[in-house]
Structure 1
């Protein structure tokens, strides 16, 4: 077992080291490269420990893509307690929060959302939102709309449909924003606090959450230099522009350390300290929920909030692995059959979202952990 853990540690170190070395030597422009300035990874196997590796620095580039001067206070080493913006891995937190409410009888996944709040179509249910079959658009530029959070949520609640509910699968951040608003409406509690009580604290993800305190935000892995909206270097605040304009949104915005992300993975694997889900609700998360004739068009299937199946570099698919990737270069994966968990945290959108990618590294991590 010790030898297995040592081998995992060496492989993880090689994976994250390759990412950060590429980023550090990258020219300021050109085709996307497999890299990230900050990277951390871990594999947690029951009975084998959880080897981890960290590499790089939390910021490295100015807005024009050139290197920051040596000694800049923005440049800090990546450590296990470095916070990363999880981006759409946030959907795992939102889905788990919804799952606890299903078990408590607060949320009926098949009842119309319109029974509780304004909805774009009276046929849309929480199940549609969780499975990306509501027919809603993928994104909306809410940050450009005048008004406050309430006005922007009104725009979501009246969003035009792309397809009829239940007829097509199309990934939608707008759907998870609406889901988060529904959970708030049902409980009278803001989503960040609701998720903390029901998911993050029971799971042991004690430092995870939306919008970290200023002291911790200053040490978070930087993401993008943004011009629209004109935010400058985004660090310690939500990278996703739409979620940022709403505050605690259901599609993106959770920050987490490597241990926090592992804690979420253990919940997906069915071996976390909490929250405890019924077998029926766990099946909603980990089994394909799409009706016959409605497919993802991807090598994975769709559970309630989770992707089921992980593609490898060879094109093979690991069918039991569940989890979710994030736009910032993150992913949390778990195999409920073996209990194994794998996590990759990066800031591949620094300094700009088109500069780096981590797709091969995600697949390599899955091979190391599950293949």
Structure 2
């Protein structure tokens, strides 16, 4: 036994030395490469992006490579006879390092709405610098432009819109504020009705229709995502800046940040790099490429507050790092740090599933995957684009697809969005609290995994279980439970008490949650029985998962006597879906 102890200690020392040596060459900050070391505050304003691999940022490359293969599989036909999307460009970055760029499939692939593939010579493959129609990610540019005006003292976020656009004050809208436009709580219906492109003859009448749109709900009473909010905000920006929205975005955002491939209505000399979107017959536009896909933005000349921006993954990476830096990049500040904080602060607490900052959506697992947390910010676009910024790990994930090429009817790509973002979360480490490894489980949707003890004898009928738990799940619908059984057939939940950042208060029967990113110390008094089997059961529902759950330092005692020590003797535990992991 003494020899075994010496060996374990020696291995631990060697591992620590190796980790320390590695940190000296690849880790610049204590939280780099760690999912269990959330960062606080912004990254240094001097942080600029550099190219590297996962190892350069202390990340495990395996989850990222698996996600690449998933994206590749979704560009290939499935049982439906067609792929989920024509092509994709993905980019992942952590702590200032671009750890992955991946392009797959076709930027131009189909000749018609039926999905007839073009001859190979006429197809255009995806490349890292392919230019995409961002669709609603354009709303972030509008939001930033508005907040820049607020920084300059030209716009008050709490002010009513009518202060800046008096003609807006019809149909009961006199109390709608700029903040409500930014947080989609104005009361507007989802879209203009009728559509701008089919209901009005020219751009002036379409602009007037936006300003004259009625409310569906009382201002501030409801969250309802609406393009009318950002269309209106775009007009406010133009009024206060004295120039068109596309020029404002260029002069105040893309030019200072060096985003040369970002803007509205791509020039003809860049058309060869633009990903195609839909083949449209109503309106009869044919294959849409190089013009904005959104019909209402198209009817306004391609420049609108809700859609119209085209960009590349590389340019968007600069914008993401600018947010992580608190509004500055490469010596150019576009927003004050306190303004960026407002973009990352939830103004919609009264609408729990619709967290929203001033411009950014927050904490949306349906596309943020395991990167989701109360401060994780992002946005998606109808054309198949996704942007996720995770300040707690100083990371971001970009997935740009042309999923509407050749038709919008081929289904949702939300699973791909989740997989891509989650790969970055899983690439970061959750280090064991005790010893060299911990039990880790990250099941797919609609699954159950268990970790069980052998039957444990009790002299007094009173056992106490203790363990460390790192819990990152979708929420209460994906619980971790400790259960006890005297016959191995019938199980009852064992009440738990957890302590640590984000831990539930009091006694609970399950553990769940995401965003706290900290280990909890958990204890439980097991119901009295002569012989008891314990099992940890983690169950997921059909939708969304977090990074997963880690258990460490599992121990069962009886009045101070050790009955089971899972750390010293992990073979005593029977796993179904759990594995020992050093990270």
Does residue 106 of structure 2 align to residue 57 of structure 1? Answer: yes
Find 1:213's aligned residue among 267, 270, 276.
Answer: 267
The answer on 1:362 being equivalent to 2:421 is no
Q: Which residue of 2 aligns with 1:122?
A: 174
Structure with greater proportional strand content: 2
Runs of 4+ in 1 over 4 A off after TM superposition: 5-14, 26-30, 312-317
Whether 2:93 is the aligned partner of 1:44: answer yes
| Structure 1 residue 336: Cα displacement | 2.3
How many residue pairs match? The answer is: 363
Question: Tell me, what secondary structure is at the counterpart of 1:318?
Answer: coil
TM-superposed CA distance for 1:154, in Å, is 0.3
Q: Which residue of 2 aligns with 1:194?
A: 248
- Unaligned 5+ segments in structure 1 are none
Shift of 1:103: 0.5
SS in 1 for 2:224: coil
Partner of 1:53: helix, strand, or coil?
strand
Post-superposition offset of 1:16 = 4.7
Partner of residue 279 from structure 1, selected from 337, 359, 365: 337
Measured at CA, do residues 14 and 54 of structure 1 come closer, stay the same or move farther in structure 2, by a change above 3 Å?
A: farther
Equivalent residue number for residue 347 of structure 2 = 289
Matched-pair contact (CA < 8 Å) for 2:185–2:219: yes
TM-score by length of 2: 0.58
Matching of residues 1-371 of structure 1 within 5 Å:
1=26, 2-4=53-55, 11-12=63-64, 14-26=66-78, 35-73=84-122, 75-117=123-165, 118-119=167-168, 120=170, 121-140=173-192, 141-246=195-300, 247-270=302-325, 272-273=328-329, 274-290=332-348, 294-295=350-351, 298=353, 300-311=354-365, 317-370=372-425, 371=547
Query: Shift of the alpha carbon at 1:257?
Result: 0.9
Distance 2:319 2:285 in 1: 30
Q: Is the 8 A contact 2:345 2:375 kept in 1?
A: no
Q: Contact 2:67/2:423 (CA < 8 Å) preserved in 1? A: no
TM-score when normalising by structure 1: 0.90
Distance 1:236 1:269, change over 3 A: same
**Residue pair 1:270, 1:336 contacting (<8 A) in 2 also:** no
Q: How far apart, in 2, do the equivalents of 1:314 and 1:116 lie?
A: 35
Q: Distance in 1 between matches of 2:276 and 2:120?
A: 16
SS at 1:193 equivalent:
helix
Deviation at 1:211, TM superposition (A): 0.7
Q: Deviation string for 1:35-93 (max 9, x for gaps)?
A: 211201111112544321111111222324233232352x1111111101111111111
Cα pair 1:19 1:36 within 8 Å, conserved: no
Q: Which structure has the higher relative contact order (CA within 8 Å, separation 6+)?
A: 1
Please tell me whether the aligned partners of residues 312 and 366 of structure 1 are also in contact (alpha carbons under 8 angstroms).
no
Q: Which runs of 5+ in 2 are unaligned?
A: 1-25, 27-52, 426-546, 548-583
- On the 8 A contact 2:113/2:280 being kept in 1, the answer is no
Inter-partner Cα distance in structure 2 for 1:5 and 1:11:
15
Richer in helix (by share) = 1
Deviation of the 1:262 alpha carbon: 0.8
Larger radius of gyration: 2
Distance 1:263 1:186 in 2: 27
